[in-house]
Chain A
Amino acid sequence: MSAMIQIEHLTYVYNPGMPDATTALDDVSFEIEEGQFVGIIGSTGSGKSTLITHFNGLHRPTSGRVLVDGTDLWEKPEKIRDFRFKVGLVFQYPEYQLFEETCYKDIAYGPKNMGLDPQEIDRRVRQAAGFVGLSPQLLERNPFELSGGQKRRVAIAGVLAMEPKVLVLDEPAAGLDPEGRDTILGAVKAYHKATGITVVLVSHSMEDIARYADKVLVMDQRKLALYDDVDKVFAQAPRLLELGLSVPQITKIFLRLKELGLDIDTDVYTMPYAVNTLREALEKRKGEAKC
Chain B
Amino acid sequence: MLKDITIGQHFPGNSLVHLMDPRLKIIITICYIVVLFMAANPLGIALSILLLLSLYLVAKIPLKMIGKSLKPILPIILFTCVLNLFFVVGEGEPLFQFWIFTVYAKGVQYAVLMAVRVLALIAGTSLLTYTTSPIILTDAIERLLAPFAKLHLPVHELAMMMSIALRFIPTLIEETDKIMNAQKARGAMLDNGSLKQRVMALVPVLIPLFISAFRRADELAMAMECRCYHGGEGRTRLKVLRMTRRDLVCGLVSLAVLGVILSTRFFVPGLQ
Contact B186 A81 (CB under 8 A): no
Binary contact readout A52-66 vs B (1 if CB under 8 angstroms, 0 otherwise): 010010100000000
A97 x B184 contact (CB < 8 A): no
Q: A273 within 8 Å of B by Cβ?
A: no
Tally of A-B Cβ pairs under 8 angstroms? 56
CB pair B186–A91 under 8 Å, yes or no, is no
Nearest opposing residue in chain B for A155, CB measure: B182
CA distance in complex: A19, B62 (Å): 9
Q: Which of A53, A56, A99, A158 contacts B203 (CB 8 A)?
A: A99
- Structural contact, A162 and B212, CB atoms closer than 8 A: no
Residue B204 CB within 8 A of the other chain? yes
Binary interface encoding of chain B residues 83-127 relative to chain A, with 1 for a CB under 8 A from any of its CBs, else 0 = 000000000000000000000000000000000000000000000
1/0 per position for B204-230, CB-CB distance to A under 8 A? 100110011000000000000000000
A91 B178 Cβ-Cβ under 8 A: yes
Chain B proximity of A174: nearest CB distance (Å): 14
Q: Does B183 contact A (CB under 8 A)?
A: yes
Shortest distance in angstroms between A97's beta carbon and chain B's nearest beta carbon? 4
A47: interface (CB < 8 Å): no
Asked whether A53 and B181 contact (CB < 8 A) given A19-B62, A96-B208, A96-B212, the answer is yes
Q: Which residue of A lies closest to B188 (CB)?
A: A113
B164 at interface by CB-CB < 8 Å: no
Closest to A99 in B: B207
CA distance A109 to B183 in the complex (A): 9
Specify which of B3, B64, B192, B208 is in contact with A97 (CB 8 Å cutoff).
Answer: B208
Q: Are B187 and A97 in contact (CB under 8 A)?
A: no
Give Cα distance in the complex from A15 to B208, angstroms: 26
State A158–B3 Cα separation when bound (angstroms).
Answer: 28
A84, B203: Cβ atoms closer than 8 Å: no
Determine the chain B residues whose CB is within 8 A of the CB of A212 once the complex forms. none
* Chain B proximity of A263: nearest CB distance (Å): 50
Instruction: Return chain B residues, CB-CB under 8 Å to A78.
Output: 192
CA distance A53 to B204 in the complex (A): 19
- Residue of A15, A89, A109 near B204 (CB, 8 A) is A109
Number of interface residues of A (CB under 8 A): 26
- A254 in the interface (beta carbon within 8 A): no
Q: Which of chain B's residues has its CB closest to A161's CB? A: B186
A96 & B187 in contact (Cβ 8 Å cutoff): no
For A91, what are the chain B residues with a Cβ–Cβ distance below 8 Å? 178, 181-182, 185
* Cβ of A85 under 8 Å from chain B: yes
**In the bound complex, CA of A250 to CA of B183 (Å):** 39
A172 within 8 A of B: no
| Complex CA–CA separation, A56 to B181 (angstroms) | 10
A-side contacts of B204, CB under 8 Å: 97, 99, 109
Partner of A81, one of B178, B183, B189: B189
Which of A97, A98, A109 counts the most B-chain CB atoms under 10 A from its CB?
A97
A158 contacts B186, C-beta separation under 8 Å: yes
The contact of B182 among A19, A81, A94, A114, by CB within 8 Å, is A94
B185 x A81 contact (CB < 8 A): no
Within 8 A of A (CB), among B190-208: 192, 203-204, 207-208
Within 8 Å CB of B189, what residues of A? 81, 113
A85/B187 in contact, CB under 8 A: yes
Q: With both chains docked as a complex, state the minimum distance between the C-beta of B2 and any C-beta of chain A, in angstroms.
A: 13
In the assembled complex, the Cα of A236 lies from the Cα of B141 at a distance in Å of 58
Known contacts A15-B3, A91-B181; A114/B62 CB under 8 A: no
A97: B residues at CB distance < 8 A: 179, 182-183, 204, 208
Give Cα A162 to B183, complex, Å: 13
Q: Is the CB of A159 within 8 A of B186?
A: yes
A85 to B189, CA, bound (A): 13
Chain A residues with CB under 8 Å of B186's CB are 84, 109-110, 113, 158-159, 162
Q: Is B185 a contact partner of A159 (Cβ separation < 8 A)?
A: yes
Known: A15-B3, A19-B62. Contact between A98 and B185, CB under 8 A? no
| 12 A-B pairs whose Cβ atoms sit less than 8 Å apart in the complex | A15-B3, A56-B185, A84-B184, A84-B185, A88-B185, A89-B182, A89-B185, A91-B178, A99-B207, A109-B186, A144-B211, A158-B186
Q: A96-B208, A162-B186 are in contact. List 13 more A-B contacts (CB 8 A).
A: A19-B62, A58-B185, A84-B184, A91-B185, A97-B179, A97-B182, A97-B204, A97-B208, A113-B186, A113-B189, A114-B187, A144-B211, A162-B187
**Chain B residues in the interface with A (C-beta under 8 A):** 3, 62, 64, 178-179, 181-189, 192, 203-204, 207-208, 211-212
Residues of A within 8 A of B (CB): 15, 18-19, 53, 56, 58, 78, 81, 84-85, 88-89, 91, 94, 96-99, 109-110, 113-114, 144, 158-159, 162
**Which 10 pairs of residues, A with B, have the shortest CB-CB distance?**
A113-B187, A99-B207, A110-B186, A97-B182, A89-B185, A99-B204, A91-B182, A58-B181, A99-B208, A97-B208
